[in-house]
Amino acid sequence: MSSTTNSLARPQPGKRYRVVQWSAGRVGTSSARAIIDHPDMDLVGMWVHSAAKEGRDIGELCGVESLGITTTRSVDDIIALQPDCVMYMQEGYDADDICALLEAGINIVTSRGEFHFPPRMDQELRQRVEAACERGGATIHSSGVSPGFITEAFPLVLTSLSRRLDCLTIDEFADMTASCSDEMLLDVLRYGGTPEEASNPHLVHHMTANFGQSLGVVADALGLQLDDIQTTAENAVAKQRIPLMGGRAIEAGTVAAMRFTVAGMRNGQPLVRFRANWFCTTDLDSDWNIRENGWRVQLQGDTPLDIYIGMPVDCSAEEMPLVMAGYTAQRCVNCVPYVCAAAPGIRTSAEMPQIVSRLG
């Protein structure tokens, strides 16, 4: 529970943290395992969404030995545990639950993208959450890997070399067949359709809301106000049939890659931009310079840089989804001591000290 008035406060030496995991999906269970293994944290509870997971031993859900602690679907049960922090990682969010936790003085680290940058949040949500933080003296911070580490923490380190920024471009490369089910790819994300059928305004809105906030954190920290956030969507089609892991396929001539560009505009030009290159094959009708899973970060200005960060993980291996979940979950877990030390409110990456992982 936050008690300082300095958002850059450092973690309290020797403190142990009582942590609750909120949700038990792939990222949530990865987070829970990281908390269990952390030398300074105790996993004291878990909230689950489905009735099928209610009342089960947390260890069982996480694939580790029994912990003797069962799950709950009640926010009141979680509040009664008096944790220092909740790892909020459910699909979607419930503002009532979030505000109830904060009003009870419980800090929150979340992988949800709606809480990265207060000025670009839904303003009604922002007001509710800030009021709850003030009443409870608690802090909420949104993190993860993308958006999060690659769109905030890493760019802020790179631009520490600069005195002029012309444009920062982050390209994300993700082989979607490695981490998505056939149903997710074909029925939800709309791969395998015509370019017209693959048009997805909801996904465009999602990218704008999440990555637009994250890019806003960087621009604001650098003292460069953005005039607008602009998002565009492109599709590329497969040259050959692509069999999928679940037995279905993406046929030749249908959409097999999507690119979403979220650009923070300043004076009519992109200043900071994120391009999600999500592909099911590299054999496409468009030359997007697709690389292996990872990121390319290009800094244009007085200190130009071009950096590629690869993820050397076998995409055909069964552990691939677990490894990918860890990138998101473990950044959040490592944020816990810093969020617990921060001043109450919605805190951005720019307001946090450098996040250092405690591995001992």
Task: Encode pLDDT of 69-108 as tens digits.
Answer: 999 999 999 999 999 999 999 999 999 999 999 999 999 9
> Quick one: which of 353, 336, 360, 283 has its CA closest to 107?
336
Give the torsion through C-alpha atoms of 130, 35, 173, 228, to 10 deg. Answer: 10
Report residue 7's pLDDT band, with 50, 70 and 90 as the boundaries. low
Structure tokens at 78: 């979680």
CA distance 17 to 124: 31
Please say if the pLDDT value at position 6 is more than 70: no
Burial letters 343-352, b for 16+ CB under 10 A, else e: bbbbbbbbbb
Q: Give the contacts of 307 (CB within 8 A, at least 6 positions apart).
A: 158, 296, 297, 298
Which residue is it, tokens 């200005």? 301
Look at residue 242 in the predicted model and tell me its pLDDT.
Answer: 95
Q: What is the CA radius of gyration of the chain?
A: 21
- Asked whether the beta carbons of 189 and 200 are under 8 A apart, the reply is yes
Look at residue 276 in the predicted model and tell me its pLDDT.
Answer: 97
Look at residue 322 in the predicted model and tell me its pLDDT.
Answer: 81
Domain 17-145+324-351 has CATH 1.20.1440.230: no
Could you give the percent of the chain with pLDDT greater than 70?
A: 97
In the chain, where the domains are located: 17-145+324-351, 163-302
Look at residue 178 in the predicted model and tell me its pLDDT.
Answer: 79
* Residue type present at position 225: Q
Handedness of CA 189, 51, 21, 346 (dihedral sign): positive
Cis omega (within 30 of 0) on the bond before 243? no
CA distance 69 to 61: 11
Structure tokens at 12: 């309290």
CA distance 57 to 35: 15
- Asked whether the beta carbons of 275 and 171 are under 8 A apart, the reply is yes
Consecutive H or E run containing 141: strand 139-142
Task: Tell me what the pLDDT averaged over the chain comes to.
Answer: 94
Structure tokens at 101: 């936790």
Handedness of CA 93, 94, 98, 99 (dihedral sign): positive
Q: How far apart are the first and last CA of the chain?
A: 24
* Residue type present at position 83: P
Tell me how far CA of residue 176 lies from CA of 30, 131, 179, 194, 324, in angstroms. Answer: 19, 39, 6, 18, 11
How remote is the C-alpha of 89 from its chain's centroid? 9
Task: Encode pLDDT of 329-346 as tens digits.
Answer: 999 999 999 999 999 999
Q: Are strands 294-301 and 165-175 parallel, antiparallel or unpaired?
A: antiparallel
Report residue 1's pLDDT band, with 50, 70 and 90 as the boundaries. very low
Task: Encode pLDDT of 124-173 as tens digits.
Answer: 999 999 999 999 999 999 999 999 999 999 999 999 999 999 999 999 99
